[in-house]
Amino acid sequence: KAYTDAMNQTAPAAKSAAIEAYLTAFPQSCVKLPTLVILMQTYAAANDAAKTVDTADRVLQLDPTNLRALTFEVYFRNAQAAALQDAAAKQAALDQAASYAQKGLTAPKPADISADDFKKLQDAAFPVFYSVIGYDALLKKDSATAIDAYKKELASVPEAQTKTPGQYL
């Protein structure tokens, strides 16, 4: 009942609170991993970067190659790095984001997801991964790695997105 009630919440704040309460009450639940993934997505939808990253960390403790969690780690850690003014702190944060990106590029397809759905996840995640890897390398003055990553970033998006004004043009 606690699980069903948590999943039936529609407001992100109420849903996340109910899921956290469920996970506290049932820490060894057989649905802990998928519940944490839903919690992570709920925090992300509410644009709560700190709680999204914290929950992604919890997901990765159970499933170190979870592509969704790695994507959120890269996205939000990159955003946190961008806000830093200290060059050393910024580089350290970008290094961490790039490390998650590298793991994400090699994440295997889980058994419980279709090949098409996994491909969609990769199609959304890979441009972000390559962008962060490229920027991290650029700040380290590693031009060869940066150029390679940026080329792979452009190759990983539909060609139409590279021809009209937007993120990739």
* CA–CA distance, 138 with 7 (Å, rounded to integer): 43
**35-75 pLDDT tens trace:** 999 999 999 999 999 999 999 999 999 999 999 999 999 99
Mean pLDDT of 28-38: 95
Mean pLDDT of 12-23: 95
Tell me what pLDDT residue 129 has: 98
Tell me what pLDDT residue 169 has: 62
The pLDDT-based confidence of 9 (bands split at 50, 70, 90) is: very high
Mean pLDDT of 161-169: 74
**What is the share, in percent, of the chain residues with pLDDT greater than 70?**
98
Tell me what pLDDT residue 25 has: 94
Contacts (Cβ under 8 Å, ≥6 apart) of 100: 70, 73, 74, 77
Q: What angle do CA 120, 121, 123 make, to 5 degrees?
A: 60
